[in-house]
Amino acid sequence: MADVQLQATGIRKLFGGFVALDDISIDIERGEFLTLLGPSGSGKTTFLNILAGFEAPTGGRLLQDGTDITHRPAEERDFGMVFQGYALFPHMTVERNVAFPLRVRKVAKAEQAERVAKALEVVGLSAHAGKRPSELSGGQQQRVALARAIVFEPDMLLLDEPLSALDKNLREQLQEELQRIHREIRTTFVFVTHDQSEALALSSRVAIFNHGRLQQIGAPDEVYTRPASRFVAEFLGQIN
Ligand code: ADP
């Protein structure tokens, strides 16, 4: 049986009278690479923000390992986050940027150094520890953000379109990196993208959203070969 880490049940989100999310239920399995896929405005980021604790749902609940965390503040959820434009501190070295979540958590200095070195090694940036973000490429900066998110060994990693600002070659390179990192650290990944091919290439499961509703959830080959609706078939058949 699947090991459910985070259970979202009947999640609803209204902005004024507008229904951004309508009755979303997803069981997130421990260690999976789950991608939230859908066109722009379909509710993916809103759902991720609710998982992160940045937004409160209008209805429904979230259980983490059976504990109700629906109203737990973001800083008390042990989730790592890599959001688009989630800026690095420009005045700090790579090393200090990555150490930031450990300093906030008051982790002992020696352990900080050890964990930062390990996180930088995982993302392939050990040689750049002393540089400032401005001395790095866009892809390298995104890796620093990734190292900063994994350094405190989060229960789950939430990634909102982390690759969409990068050019095609770099994006493909980082897609492979992400898969490798996922295998290596074995943390649950919840990844948002509007790019079908990226979702199908990366994920163990894909959850397809449209107009705030969950259209289908399943393994990439399953949703691709057996789309549950005309919308899913058309959306996955689209050429980028
Ligand atoms: P996606 O990530 O799939 O592009 P979003 O979750 O960002 O979609 O948005 C879903 C819908 O909710 C969109 O129509 C968006 O305009 C609306 N929305 C998102 N955040 C807010 C907000 N803070 N206030 C009002 N409407 C919002």
What does the alpha-carbon distance between residue 194 and residue 42 come to, in Å, rounded to a whole number?
A: 9
HSE of 225, CA atoms in CB hemisphere, 13 A: 4
Decide if pLDDT at 24 tops 50: yes
Closest ligand 1 atom to residue 160 Cα is 2
pLDDT of residue 108: 96
Residue 86 confidence (pLDDT):
62
Ligand 1 centre to CA of 18 (Å) is: 9
What is the Å distance from ligand 1's center to 156 Cα? 23
Whether residue 39 is predicted with pLDDT greater than 90 in this model: the reply is yes
Structure-token pair, residue 41 = 């405005």
Is the pLDDT score of 38 beyond 90?
Answer: yes
pLDDT given at position 239: 41
Residues with CB under 6 A from ligand 1: 15, 18, 20, 38, 40-46
ipTM of the predicted structure? 0.98
Q: What is the pLDDT of residues 118-152, one digit of tens each?
A: 999 999 999 999 999 999 988 899 899 999 999 98
Q: pLDDT tens digit string along 72-107?
A: 999 899 899 998 766 799 999 999 999 999 998 899
CA of 141 to the centre of ligand 1 (A): 27
At 118 the pLDDT is: 94
Report how far apart the first and last C-alpha atoms of the chain are (Å, whole number).
Answer: 36
CA distance 118 to 102: 13
| pLDDT tens digits for range 166-225 | 788 888 888 988 999 999 989 999 999 999 999 999 999 999 999 999 999 999 999 999
Q: Are strands 188-193 and 156-160 parallel, antiparallel or unpaired?
A: parallel
3-state SS, one letter per residue, for 11-24: EEEEECCEEEEEEE
Q: If pLDDT is split at 50, 70 and 90, which confidence band does 165 have? A: confident
